[in-house]
Amino acid sequence: MTDDELRAEVEAWLAEHWRGLPAHHESFGRDPRSAWLAEVRDAGWAVPRWPTDRWGRGLSNDQAKIVERAFAAAGAPGAGQDRTNLWANTALAHATEGFRGQIVPQLLAGEVGMCLLYSEPGAGSDLAAIRTRADKVDGGWRVTGQKVWTSGAAVADYGMLIARTDWDVPKHRGISFFFLPMKQPGVEVRPLRQITDEAHFSEVFITEAFVPDDHLLGPLNGGWGVLQTALAYERSVMGDAARGPRSGAGGPKGDYSLLGLAREAGRIDDPVVRQQVAQAIAWRALNRLNTARAKAELAQGTSSPIMSLGKLAMSRILHEEARVRTLLLGAESLLQGPDHPRAEDANFLTLNAYFTSIGGGTDQIQRNIIGERVLDLPREPEVDRTLPFREVRAG
């Protein structure tokens, strides 16, 4: 199929099927757009780069971009999930054949809610130090432990879980990766109140929860490699974009941009302001290009340290844009509440910027990854890296 033929096909399909959607609200559970997403999946547009026997169309990267541009032009969601859906991409690469056939179609249509069960109170930056355990029983595994900073846990159907299955090997080699069913006895979710006065995060207490054998992803005790695939997609998404203002005001034309705020504040002709706004815009443009390059080089089921560049850059961008917003508002930024939506937005974005600095691996972790795997600098000392995990000291 030529590019023109493909473009004509996807545009004709959209003209026939796309009728718009109600306003979409942020949700970690079942996607309210799932009926539409199922249509996109069944037509092969959701994952156009995937093979035809794997819900895709077997297109090249360049032709897949034609599909994505057509959907974007129509304002239709759902295409390009072969680059952005961390749940489906991880399951496609590592799930058993039977479970893959069940879960991947549901993930592409947003029919199941998902969360990430990685971090623990004693294993945040050093994820390989996890102490949640999975013990083998008939037909599956019994999981006991505690996870924290879990987005969407209260509404999730499954959690992508890392747990220790071998305590007699070094810490990176005794970890396995599971899809843990969340709606079962033994899984308790307690919301955590954030600095933004929201509660997207939770701590999760797991006591003898059951996970079936076929919910193991990748080889037993080989979960660290599966985790790297999942983290690469997560960092890719976090490097692409971040939450915007939440007030819903947005000025007369809904312009939330720094440029729009500078115009509204009457400071668009201030050379210092213009330079700082231009710098922030330039950083976003550069980060988009770098993230696009990293995604183009990312093969299915692999990870890339280049994704850490995008995530670290987005963290810097968000903190810098929050600073410039505060500069533009001046003393008004001290105000708060619905009567002062611009200040409300600036303060929210200032606080929420720390989400990207911490979630998906802290800024410091991203710098370590970039230094060691991109710049080939010496590794940091890690005295417990080769010890059997049961001999590792813990506070």
Domains and CATH numbers, the chain: 3-84 (no CATH), 114-220 (2.40.110.10), 241-374 (1.20.140.10)
Residue 250 has pLDDT above 50, yes or no: no
Block residue for tokens 């701590």: 203
Q: What percent of the chain has pLDDT over 90?
A: 49
Residue 233 has pLDDT above 90, yes or no: no
C-beta of residue 135 within 8 angstroms of C-beta of residue 211 = no
Element (H, E) at 203: strand 201-212
Task: Name the average pLDDT for the chain.
Answer: 87
What is the rounded distance in angstroms from the CA atom of residue 289 to the CA atom of residue 297?
Answer: 13
Classified as helix, coil or strand, 162 is strand
Backbone angles phi, psi at 301, to 5 degrees: 80, 10
* Cut 0.85: pTM above it: no
Residue 126 has pLDDT above 50, yes or no: yes
Pairing mode, strands 201-212 and 187-191: antiparallel
C-beta of residue 201 within 8 angstroms of C-beta of residue 150 = yes
Q: What percent of the chain has pLDDT over 70?
A: 88
What is the rounded distance in angstroms from the CA atom of residue 106 to the CA atom of residue 110?
Answer: 6
Q: Which of 211, 212, 185, 230 is nearest to 132 (CA)?
A: 211
Q: What is the mean pLDDT of residues 318-339?
A: 86
Q: What is the pLDDT of residue 254?
A: 42
Block residue for tokens 């809904």: 254
Which tens digits make up the pLDDT trace of 25-67? 555 566 778 999 999 999 999 999 999 999 999 999 899 999 9
